[in-house]
Amino acid sequence: MLPAAARATRPRFRICALLRAAVLGALAACGTALPAAANDSATAPAEDAALQQAAPLAALEPGAVLRLADGTALRLAFLRLPDVMTDLPASGDGAAIEVEAWRERAATALRDMLGGAPVRFRALAAAPDRYGALPAMVLAADGTPVQEALLSRGLARLDLAGLAAPEAETLRAAEAQARMRHLGLWNATPYRVRALAELWDWVGTYQVAVGRVHSAARVGDKFFVNFGPEYDSDVTVLFKGPVARRFRDEVAAGRRLEGCPVLVRGWIEFWNGPLVAASMPAQVEPLESCEGEAER
């Protein structure tokens, strides 16, 4: 830290201040370097100070992990890159070649953006995760945020886990623009936005789908968002415990969700039909204003 700004000189120190000014002027005339004053803008902004620099990219690994030349593993936070193991159901082997092609496009874009230079990043955690990768926001060689660039080109999908300001709105907007324009993988069969009725065929994968809410209600410490009248067969999104309360307060408040078109994203499980066990409220995103008395 730089020292605090000097206090105002009292009158009885005026002579000393004049002498000091004369000495400093003489030193400056001789070309002697002076330390920066306390109120100079000599320090970098906080966001720049948080940037770190590591070795160049060596390989792209599953889970959006960048393996650097020195062995460091960085996870591209908030991204889901194309991956055969997570993006296709057991019966989807025929699309594996297409998924691998999209993965290679994303890898090529990453290599082009990083350009063989030392990777600059901002760590989002103090230590690596349980898989040994440090979640981070990464900058391209020209300073462009890598996550935003991949999302805006339709080469990745947004992963909401841990997503918060300041990145949240920027990354959401980047993905939404690519999705609405059907850019990149959003125009590919394995990744297009699905109708909820299609999710039966995609159990065991991570999907983004749209549909209208049939009913929404709190039952004990759970909040159910149902997309059909048959609770034992239609698609359901389930929120539990604190997440249920947050969904009720942050998303459902002020809205009557019945009949509201929403975007749903998450892992598709099977429990009386396709189920998304949501871990955060934003996994159900109203696509328009749905006013009315909210379910409580």
Which domains, and CATH codes, for the chain?
Answer: 52-187 (2.40.50.90), 194-286 (2.40.50.140)
132, two tokens: 């040994």
Per DSSP, the three-state class of 173 is helix
Rounded to two decimals, the pTM is 0.78
203, two tokens: 């159990």
**DSSP line for 214-232:** SEEEEETTEEEEESSS-TT
pLDDT in tens, the chain (296 residues): 333 333 333 333 333 333 333 433 443 333 333 233 333 333 333 445 689 999 999 999 999 999 999 999 999 999 999 999 889 998 777 799 999 999 999 999 999 999 999 999 999 999 999 999 999 999 999 999 999 999 999 999 999 877 776 788 899 999 999 999 999 999 999 999 999 989 999 999 999 999 999 999 899 999 999 999 988 889 999 999 999 999 988 887 767 889 999 999 999 999 989 999 999 999 999 987 675 544 43
Under 8 Å between Cβ of 194 and 234: no
Under 8 Å between Cβ of 277 and 225: no
Nearest C-alpha neighbor of 67 from the set 55, 78, 57, 77: 57
Nearest C-alpha neighbor of 262 from the set 251, 253, 271: 251
Calpha distance 179→198 (Å, rounded): 18
Kindly list the distances between the CA atom of residue 31 and the CA atoms of 36, 125, 291, in Å, as whole numbers in the listed order. 15, 44, 69
